[in-house]
């Protein structure tokens, strides 16, 4: 199962190209942790978006901010 497109929070910050951190993703009603690589260091607690699957339990992430909901938009 690919986790590309999932968002989660870093439980350990990344060190950019110097080493991975760890991200917790909500999957199938539970949560799972993955090694998280990023191009630049990201601190613990950062919300991230998975942009690439790097193999078993390894992902590439970028910092993510939820887009604002436009006025008049009804969330389902």
Q: What is the pLDDT of residues 51-68, one digit of tens each?
A: 999 999 999 999 998 877
Which of 39, 49, 44, 2 is closest to 18 using CA atoms?
A: 39
1, part of any domain:
no
pTM, entire model: 0.85
Strands, E assignment, 13-66: 14-15, 21-27, 30-37, 41-42, 47-55, 58-63
Residue 44 has pLDDT above 90, yes or no: yes
31, part of any domain:
yes
Residue 72 has pLDDT above 80, yes or no: no
68, part of any domain:
no
How far is residue 40's CA from residue 19's CA, in Å, rounded to a whole number?
10
21, part of any domain:
yes
User: What DSSP character marks residue 61?
Assistant: E
75 vs 2, residue with greater confidence = 2
pLDDT band at residue 73, thresholds of 50, 70 and 90? low
Total domains in the fold of the chain: 1
């Amino acid at each position: 199962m690919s986790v590309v497109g999932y968002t989660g929070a870093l439980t350990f910050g990344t060190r950019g190209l110097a080493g991975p951190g760890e991200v917790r993703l909500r999957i199938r009603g539970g949560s799972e942790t993955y090694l998280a690589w990023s191009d630049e260091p990201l601190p613990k607690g950062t919300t991230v978006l998975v942009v690439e699957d790097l193999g078993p339990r390894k992902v590439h992430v970028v910092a993510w901010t939820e887009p604002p909901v436009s006025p008049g938009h009804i969330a389902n």
